[in-house]
Amino acid sequence: MEMEMKDELGVTVERLATAAGLLEQAVERLAQRQSEFAVDAEASIGRIVATVEGRREAELEEKLAAAEAQIAELRAAAASAPVEVTYGRKTLPAAMTNLLAKQGVTVESMEAGALDAALVSLSMEQRFAVKAQLMRAGLLG
């Protein structure tokens, strides 16, 4: 009986040793597969990132080219268009017209010498104000 138990125990130990060996092989295969998967995943992610970056670069290059073309068009238009300085107001305020009329100056017959002569009686600040109004109205260059 003791011998039978020893044989049975020996068979059980052998079976356990075989099972442990098979488990070790399975763990090694799983570790190898995980390593291969990690390498494949890293390569796939690298390709995806490169594709996205390439598309973004192409999109930015298109936008840059469009902006440069628009700048060139605007520069060409600005170079060919005559420069016209306009002031917001084309008429004088009524008070200014009355002030000039009191000094004997009409807007239609305004000359630089006549204007200066008419404004002599005004203070320096008032002369500047009158001339500024005339310039804004586009009547004095």
| Helix H or strand E segment including 112 | helix 112-118
Q: State which residues of the chain have pLDDT below 70.
A: 1, 81-93, 103-114, 138, 140-141
107 — phi, psi (to 5°)?
A: -65, -35
Q: Please state, rounded to an integer, the average pLDDT across all residues of the chain.
A: 80
| pLDDT recorded at residue 92 | 67
Give the pLDDT of residue 32: 93
pLDDT digits (tens, 9 = 90+) for 46-81: 888 888 888 889 899 999 999 999 999 888 887 776
Give me the long-range contacts of 82-89 (CB less than 8 A, separation at least 24). Answer: 86/138, 87/135, 87/136, 87/137, 87/138, 88/136, 89/136, 89/137, 89/138
pLDDT in the model for residue 63: 93
Contacts of residue 86, Cβ cutoff 8 Å, sequence gap at least 6: 138
Residue 68: what pLDDT? Answer: 93
Evaluate whether 118 touches 105 at the Cβ level (below 8 Å). Answer: yes
Give residue 18's pLDDT: 93
Degrees, nearest 5: CA angle 10-16-22: 140
